[in-house]
């Protein structure tokens, strides 16, 4: 009698270093069913946003091609995970289901129920570690508690041994003949809006694209990472975050590859730049650590005082922020980059988040939801961690009084105005001296640059100095317990 195993793909869309797939191969099954279930309807708040769905479509197409090259095929289904798994088990006669763990609260609860159900039906159910280098429950303080501050967390894990990545199989057992698969188009992941084409043009989703991106980073950018990573006009970051989010490359693969690069370039600069980059992988791990131990944080501030913070309900200002029409160039450039490419430079993420939560005093949840829908790397742990950090209410949060001045941010990190001019063509003729604060420019400068404030480019929707003072006063109302 033939033996069949199901490998349940989720956000681990790769062949190499895939523990669930590796376990099925090592099990010498006669048939392996590579199954992806579109479970959007059952995940609710944690279902991928629009930009992530566009990426997912292309990533699944790439994975299907990879599996075909190994003699297999990708089975696509849509529906509630347990019901679909039951249907595929009945149709294939599978006696095992393997998958790689994820750490979002709703996914954890669903997976526990599915694992219990599979045990009752005497189907071998096993889950593996692939999304992180270190499981969230394995990192504890000296008192046995989870960490809330990144630096001691990273100090503990950065020198820990990381298992070597698993090699990719060269051949896979086929799924049973006649097993039905939905078409990729039937999943309806691509919106009718032409906006999706911008993401297609900006990225190369898939496992091959992920490794190409890593090699390009190591060969061209990594040697100057510490300095260039802060310059949004430059190609100074790895741009690996969406590939990591969808599991087209895993953290173990990146860590080992970067360490090999450091050894090959054995000098202090390579070590320093490599360590700085690996600390960003550490922040991703920290985001999962915080989310796992504080599953309420996608909805609620970790700092409970902020339940009483006097946020403003200003839909007009929120819409101006979303559309990149606030009249503050560094903020607007970041928001327009996000809409055009599905990504935003980290320096800008901090800047626009600080502006929304402090200068506009709009609750961080509104910004987090917009990022969730428009980022191709929208990752619940990292997204929530970043927004609560910026708002001063989360783990390792910046003090609330640290309010980013977007003019100074632009002058420091985009001194020539190249980033702003790239995304705000209305300001392309403004001199660098005034491009980050056109409202302060002399009238002759504005006329020469062809800028009419309030017409060709908006006037600022808020005064930066006044709104900063108002935000600090608002914080005093919860700081003092009034």
Q: Give pLDDT tens digits along the chain (482 positions).
A: 789 999 999 999 999 999 999 999 999 999 999 999 999 778 777 788 889 999 999 999 999 999 999 999 999 999 999 999 999 999 999 999 999 999 999 999 999 999 999 999 999 999 999 999 999 999 999 999 999 999 999 999 998 999 999 999 999 999 999 999 999 999 999 887 777 787 878 899 999 999 999 999 999 999 999 999 999 999 899 999 999 999 999 999 999 999 999 999 877 788 999 999 999 999 999 999 999 999 999 999 999 999 999 999 999 999 999 999 999 999 999 999 999 999 999 999 999 999 999 999 999 999 999 999 999 999 999 999 999 999 999 998 878 888 999 999 999 999 999 999 999 999 999 999 999 999 999 999 999 999 999 999 999 999 999 999 999 999 999 986 54
Residues 393 and 342 in one domain: yes
Per-residue confidence (pLDDT) for residue 45, from 0 to 100: 74
CATH number of the domain within which 26 lies: 3.40.50.620
Annotated active-site residue 109? The verdict is no
Instruction: Decide if 251 is inside a domain.
Output: yes
Annotated active-site residue 195? The verdict is no
List 42, 135, 182, 280, catalytic entry: 280
Instruction: Decide if 201 is inside a domain.
Output: no
Instruction: Decide if 183 is inside a domain.
Output: no
Assigned token pair, 353: 């988040």
CATH number of the domain within which 315 lies: 1.10.579.10
Residues 124 and 146 in one domain: no
- Name the β-bridge partners of 98: 7, 126
Rg (CA), the chain: 24
Per-residue confidence (pLDDT) for residue 352, from 0 to 100: 98
Annotated active-site residue 283? The verdict is yes
Annotated active-site residue 122? The verdict is no
Residues 342 and 365 in one domain: yes
Per-residue confidence (pLDDT) for residue 259, from 0 to 100: 95
Per-residue confidence (pLDDT) for residue 480, from 0 to 100: 67
List 283, 370, 389, 423, catalytic entry: 283
- Domain edge (last residue) among 239, 269, 293: 293
Instruction: Decide if 316 is inside a domain.
Output: yes
Q: Beta strand pairing status for 31-38 and 74-78?
A: parallel
Residues 308 and 445 in one domain: yes
> CA nearest 103: which of 126, 135, 125, 133?
135
List 265, 346, 418, 429, catalytic entry: 346
Per-residue confidence (pLDDT) for residue 400, from 0 to 100: 87
List 8, 55, 203, 364, catalytic entry: 364
Annotated active-site residue 370? The verdict is no
Residues 153 and 269 in one domain: yes
CA distances from 312 to 44, 194, 326, 432 (A): 26, 33, 16, 34
Count of structural domains, the chain: 3
List 195, 311, 339, 439, catalytic entry: 311
Per-residue confidence (pLDDT) for residue 481, from 0 to 100: 52
- Domain edge (last residue) among 262, 293, 324: 293
Compute, in degrees rounded to 10, the torsion defined by CA atoms 189, 335, 151, 139: -10
Residues 117 and 139 in one domain: no
Residues 359 and 471 in one domain: yes
Instruction: Decide if 174 is inside a domain.
Output: no
Residues 142 and 267 in one domain: yes
Residues 281 and 393 in one domain: no
Residues 15 and 141 in one domain: no
Q: What is the DSSP string of 67-97?
A: HHHTT--EEEEES-HHHHHHHHHHHHT--EE
Instruction: Decide if 193 is inside a domain.
Output: no
Instruction: Decide if 267 is inside a domain.
Output: yes
Instruction: Decide if 439 is inside a domain.
Output: yes
Per-residue confidence (pLDDT) for residue 195, from 0 to 100: 76
Per-residue confidence (pLDDT) for residue 200, from 0 to 100: 78
3-state secondary structure the chain: CCCEEEEEECCCCCCCCCHHHHHHHHCCCCEEEEEEEECHHHHHHHCCCHHHHHHHHHHHHHHHHHHHHCCCCEEEEECCHHHHHHHHHHHHCCCEEEEECCCCHHHHHHHHHHHHHHHHCCCEEEEECCCCCCCHHHCCCCCCCCCCCHHHHHHHHCCCCCCCCCCCCCCCCCCCCCCCCCCCHHHCCCCCCCHHHHHHHHCCCCHHHHHHHHHHHHHHHHHHHHHHCCCCCCCCCCCCHHHHHCCCCCHHHHHHHHHHHHHHCCCHHHHHHHHHHHHHHHHHHHHHHHHHHCCCCCCCCCCHHHHHCCCCCCHHHHHHHHHCCCCCHHHHHHHHHHHHHCCCCHHHHHHHHHHHHHHCCCCHHHHHHHHHHHCCCCCHHHHHHHHHHHHCCCCCCCCCCCCCCHHHHHHHHCCCCHHHHHHCHHHCCCCCCCCCCHHHCCHHHHHHHCCCECCCECCCCCCHHHHHHHHHHHHHHHHCCC
Domain that holds residue 383: 304-479
- Domain edge (last residue) among 269, 293, 317: 293
Annotated active-site residue 387? The verdict is yes
Residues 25 and 103 in one domain: yes
Residues 414 and 349 in one domain: yes
């Amino acid at each position: 009698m033939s033996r069949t195993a199901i490998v349940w793909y989720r956000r681990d869309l790769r062949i190499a270093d895939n523990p669930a797939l590796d376990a099925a191969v090592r099990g010498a099954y006669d048939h392996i069913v590579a199954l992806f279930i579109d479970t959007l309807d059952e995940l609710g708040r944690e279902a991928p946003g629009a930009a992530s769905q566009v990426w997912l479509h292309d990533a699944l197409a790439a994975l299907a091609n990879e599996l075909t090259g190994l003699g297999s095929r990708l089975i696509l289904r849509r529906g509630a995970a347990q019901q679909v798994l039951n249907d595929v088990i009945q149709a294939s006669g599978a006696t095992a289901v393997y998958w790689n763990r994820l750490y979002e609260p709703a996914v954890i609860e669903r997976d526990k129920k599915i694992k219990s159900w599979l045990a009752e039906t005497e189907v071998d159910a096993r889950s593996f570690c692939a999304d992180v280098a270190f499981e969230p429950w394995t990192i504890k303080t000296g008192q046995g508690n989870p960490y809330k501050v990144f630096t001691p967390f990273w100090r503990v894990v950065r020198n820990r041994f990381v298992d070597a990545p698993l090699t990719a199989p060269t051949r896979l057992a086929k799924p049973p003949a006649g097993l039905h698969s939905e078409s990729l188009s039937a999943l309806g992941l691509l919106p009718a809006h032409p906006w999706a084409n911008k993401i297609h043009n900006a990225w190369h989703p898939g496992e091959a694209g992920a490794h190409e991106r890593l090699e390009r980073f190591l060969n061209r950018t990594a040697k100057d990472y510490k300095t260039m990573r802060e310059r949004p006009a430059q190609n100074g970051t790895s741009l690996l975050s969406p590939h990591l989010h969808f599991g087209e490359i895993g953290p173990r693969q990146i860590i080992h590859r970067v360490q090999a690069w450091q050894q090959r370039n054995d000098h202090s600069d390579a070590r320093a730049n490599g360590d700085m980059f690996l600390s960003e992988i550490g922040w991703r791990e920290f985001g999962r650590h915080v989310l796992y131990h504080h599953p309420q944080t996608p909805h609620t501030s970790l700092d409970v005082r902020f339940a009483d913070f006097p946020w403003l309900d200003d839909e007009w200002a929120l819409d101006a922020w979303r559309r990149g029409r606030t009249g503050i160039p560094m903020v607007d450039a970041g928001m327009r980059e996000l809409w055009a490419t599905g990504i935003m430079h980290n320096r800008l993420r901090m800047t626009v988040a600080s502006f929304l939560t402090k200068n506009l005093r709009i609750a961080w949840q509104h910004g987090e939801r917009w990022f969730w829908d428009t980022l191709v790397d929208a990752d619940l742990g990292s997204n929530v961690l970043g927004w609560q950090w910026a708002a001063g209410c989360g783990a390792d949060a910046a003090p609330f009084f640290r309010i980013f001045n977007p003019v100074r941010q632009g002058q420091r990190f985009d001194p020539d105005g190249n980033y702003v001019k790239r995304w705000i063509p209305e300001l392309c003729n403004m001199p660098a001296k005034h491009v980050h604060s056109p409202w302060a420019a002399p009238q002759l400068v504005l006329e020469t640059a062809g800028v009419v404030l309030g017409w060709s480019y908006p006037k600022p929707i808020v005064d930066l100095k006044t709104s900063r003072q108002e935000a600090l006063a608002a914080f005093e109302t919860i700081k003092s317990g009034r």
